[in-house]
Amino acid sequence: MEDFKAIQVRREDDNDVEVVHNPTSYPVIGRGHHGAVFKISSDKCVKIFVKQKHFLKEVESLKIAQDSPVFPKLYEVGENYIVMEYIEGPTLEHYLVSEGEITETITQKILFLLQEMKRLNFLRLDASIYHIFVTNQGDLRVIDLVSHMKKRFDRPDKLMNGLMKLGLLPAFLEQVNKFDPESYEAWKDFTGWTKSE
């Protein structure tokens, strides 16, 4: 296996992380505010972080989540990187766009995912639809857990904002009302989320 530890990343201003040095053949499969992700095998990827504080937050969240089926398996932790399970499949955003609808099955899986976050005592009970993946088996998996132990969010505003942009929020809330009336009562007044993180 090539040495991914030689890969260097950095972030300037408010842009996504850029890769400044990659002597390996590992492809970049994701870049965000906190790090860049490279696929290192058919079932593993490595996330390399710019800042230690974000690295530590993600490690903390992933370690807590290891007994849950909705988060990636954690294989190795280094100085500024984590090796974790590579999730094969589209993001929930791409999946919903290609399907053109949100099914009751997907809504139930979203509710389960949020219940798992609550069970694990995450502070943020939310995820963006581009940080949720639909596996080849049809299960949902969440990535990018840097801020899940940082600030309390009891309502999935980011998730609902993504669904609203796709025109699927009314159908989602209708299905939530069927399966989880209590959550529906807490979420039904959602009109959009503009707060930047």
Three-state secondary-structure class, residue 188: coil
Confirm whether 135 is domain-assigned: yes
By DSSP bridging, strand 81-85 and strand 132-134 are unpaired
pLDDT at residue number 194: 57
Residues 96 and 81 in one domain: no
User: How far apart, in Å, are the Cα atoms of 51 and each of 54, 89, 146, 185, 195?
Assistant: 6, 28, 11, 39, 23
DSSP character string of 115-155: HHHHHTT-SB----TTSEEE-TTS-EEE---TTTTTS-B-S
Q: What is the pTM of this model?
A: 0.92
pLDDT at residue number 193: 66
Quick check: 79 and 63 in contact, CB under 8 A? no
User: How far apart, in Å, are the Cα atoms of 39 and each of 7, 36, 47, 48?
Assistant: 13, 10, 9, 11
Per the document, the length of the chain is 197
Which residue ranges in the chain fall short of pLDDT 50?
A: 196-197
Residues 110 and 78 in one domain: no
Which residues lie below 8 Å from residue 122, measured CB to CB, with a gap of 6+?
61, 64, 145, 148, 149
User: How far apart, in Å, are the Cα atoms of 100 and each of 78, 95, 138, 161?
Assistant: 41, 8, 16, 17
The number of domains in the chain is 2
Confirm whether 49 is domain-assigned: yes
Domain stops at, among 63, 85, 107: 85
Residues 105 and 74 in one domain: no
Residues 81 and 106 in one domain: no
- Domain span holding position 168: 92-187
DSSP 14: T
Q: Cα 153–159–162 angle (5° rounding)?
A: 140
Domain stops at, among 55, 70, 85: 85
Q: What backbone torsions phi and psi does residue 30 show, to the nearest 5 degrees? A: -170, 145
